[in-house]
Structure 1
Amino acid sequence: MKLMDIFGALKRDMDFIERQLYRSIEGDEELLSETSLHLLKAGGKRLRPVFVLLGGKFGTYDLEKLQHVAVPLELIHSATLVHDDVIDDAGTRRGKPTVKAKWDNKIAMYTGDFLYAKALTLATRLPIPELHRILAKAMVQMSIGEMEQIRDFFNTEQSVRQYLLRIRRKTALLIAISCQLGALASEASSRIHTQLYRYGYNVGMAFQIRDDLLDLCGTEKSLGKPPGSDMRQGNITLPVIYALQDPEIREPLLAELEVIRSNGMEADAGRAIGMILSSPGIRRAEELADRFIGKALDALEGLPESKSKTHLKEIALFVNKRSY
């Protein structure tokens, strides 16, 4: 099942959000508008705006209000990507040159800062103090997650708990508040937006684990980058952590990771990927992703029956089986 098939019912509203997304970065400064537009035109799943709209369906649905949540959250997500590309020294994203590759690191960093600032400016158009507190707290946690990832580059001794805390901050939190803030902006009950937060958190955890699996199991065509890019950048993900727990391959895999560390993005990760694919690491990571999806579906129990609830279930199932 394709993502766009799931969200066909939201197409008109998502087209509106997409237009507002482009308009949000127009006119302030020519180069920043150009670099931001380049990033946005690279595409993406736009999952966060979709979650905002679906969350909004549980209250008084008002697209004019919801745009001031959906657009900022997608801008924040885009800002994290452009900053990540600088940290990772990434030349491509979704098969297209990154901002840092097409311009330079300084321009990329200022582009990310610009997107963060635009996001906060747009969000202030909704006079909901609780929404602003949740958003600000999430941004602080996301920044901590970025620092944790840098700290743990090539850290082969990190635990599963460290990994899970990092992806909670880097990925799951923004998806969780996308579901929550859509409902909050639409004046749904606190019980509903709390349940939607739990749903989004667990979907976000599974989403990142699947992303990390795809980096090892996917193809360059489907990923838009060579498989094993995470390892080359020093990012030790869950399948690698699990593989390192296998005494039969731990030492040879550590040796391969050291070779990759020495050669960086020019390294051949093929042997390391082969070891991980033949280890229990892939299966164990898939099982954990399954458990998070189960928790996400449980979080929807008790919510009013609606097309939006059905869509949320379908998204969770899609996330857990996605191949891109």
Structure 2
Amino acid sequence: MEKMKLKMLYSDLKQDIDIIEKELEEALNSSSHLIYEASLHLLQAGGKRIRPVFVLISAKFGNYNIDKVKNVAVPLELIHSASLVHDDVIDNSDMRRGQHTVKAQWNNRVAMYTGDYIFARALEYVTKIENKKVHQILAHTMVEIVNGEIIQIEDKFRLNQNLKDYFRRIKRKTALLIESSCELGAIVGECDPKVVNNLKRYGYYVGMSYQIIDDILDFISTDKELGKPAGSDLLQGNITLPILLLQDHSEIKQFIERASQGTVTEQERLDMLEIVRKSDAIKKSMQISNQYLVKALKEVEALPNHPMKKKLRDVALFIGKRKF
């Protein structure tokens, strides 16, 4: 239902989104049947395609040409997809969006090579773009995403981290790719530099809010809604905002210790969820997410009058209220 609402927000872009969807499938073609099958498994598991949508919307503020825009939208979504495959190996996740992950369907080795292949295809696809700045931004984005993955490994089960550590991590994990989607869409659309900067900042703020909401939903949603056990982030050692706001809670500390040893029982997981849900950490996390949304909406206001301004507002507000 929630995904349907989101698709309705950009239903007028459906024709171009379908073009990108087809390009994504073609981009994953491989002489290796195994790699192709694993890549397609990930693609067909679905996704909100938020990043390509932001590319399309941003490009609309300039000289919109889908044949040029898709050359940015496709590699950005490929980079995102590749990072998901690697994340699932790092976090030892068997489920994503209610579907088996590549590592669960095959194994870790196949998953890692599949992720590498998708990254490589993204790089190959970018060669269709002649703009040097686009290449520089994409290269920087990929480097930072990988740095973020390494830092996430180093930070596992580490409770003595601060909010700055968390914000830096989610910037690399999520916000940077959404920021780049908006920025590159505007650049390929040949937008005015001021418009490019407004859209870039909008993408960053929306991306930060998006990840914070993701981290909240991991605690307040049901297993069925998430398509995986609620609280999976903490079980895997990822210390997110609600837990940082509860880092002095003795029972949470004990839970993290047991999770690091892999000895958490189902009842302990349910007890942990109850503690987080009844605390004020969820409300405080929502407030921080909303602060980022307010900043994003200010960037929208600074943009020139255009029908897409409402679209940017609507998507940002939806992200702030989403339940999936």
TM-score by length of 2: 0.96
Correspondence for 1:257: 256
Correspondence for 1:164: 167
> Which whole-Å CA distance do the structure 2 matches of 1:70 and 1:190 have between them?
20
> Which whole-Å CA distance do the structure 2 matches of 1:109 and 1:266 have between them?
30
> Which whole-Å CA distance do the structure 1 matches of 2:303 and 2:278 have between them?
41
Letter in structure 2 aligned against 1:252:
E
Structure 1 residue 174 corresponds to structure 2 residue 177? yes
Deviation per CA, 1:16-62, whole angstroms, max 9, x where unpaired? 11111111111432211111000000000000000000011011100
Correspondence for 2:287: 287
> Which whole-Å CA distance do the structure 1 matches of 2:170 and 2:60 have between them?
28
Preserved contact between residue 258 and residue 264 of structure 2 (Cα < 8 Å): no
Aligned-residue identity in percent: 45
SS in 2 for 1:243: coil
Work out which of the residue numbers 109, 120, 127 in structure 2 matches 1:106: 109
SS in 2 for 1:269: helix
Deviation per CA, 1:105-156, whole angstroms, max 9, x where unpaired? 0110000000011001111101000000011011111111111111110111
Structure 1 residue 241 corresponds to structure 2 residue 241? no
Correspondence for 1:305: 305
Work out which of the residue numbers 41, 46, 67 in structure 2 matches 1:43: 46
Letter in structure 2 aligned against 1:258:
E
RMSD: 1.2
> Which whole-Å CA distance do the structure 1 matches of 2:75 and 2:295 have between them?
27
> Which whole-Å CA distance do the structure 2 matches of 1:241 and 1:151 have between them?
16
- 1:94 and 1:107, CA in 2 relative to 1: closer, same or farther beyond 3 A? same
Correspondence for 1:33: 36
Q: How many aligned residue pairs are there?
A: 320
TM-score by length of 1: 0.96
* Runs of 5+ unmatched residues, structure 2: none
User: Which deviates the most, 177-186 or 267-276?
Assistant: 267-276
* Runs of 5+ unmatched residues, structure 1: none
C-alpha deviation, 1:204, in angstroms: 0.3
Letter in structure 2 aligned against 1:136:
A
Correspondence for 2:63: 60
Q: Which 4+ residue blocks in structure 1 deviate beyond 3 angstroms?
A: 264-268
Preserved contact between residue 242 and residue 281 of structure 1 (Cα < 8 Å): yes
Preserved contact between residue 203 and residue 296 of structure 1 (Cα < 8 Å): yes
Preserved contact between residue 229 and residue 265 of structure 1 (Cα < 8 Å): no
Letter in structure 2 aligned against 1:201:
Y
User: Which deviates the most, 269-278 or 137-146?
Assistant: 269-278
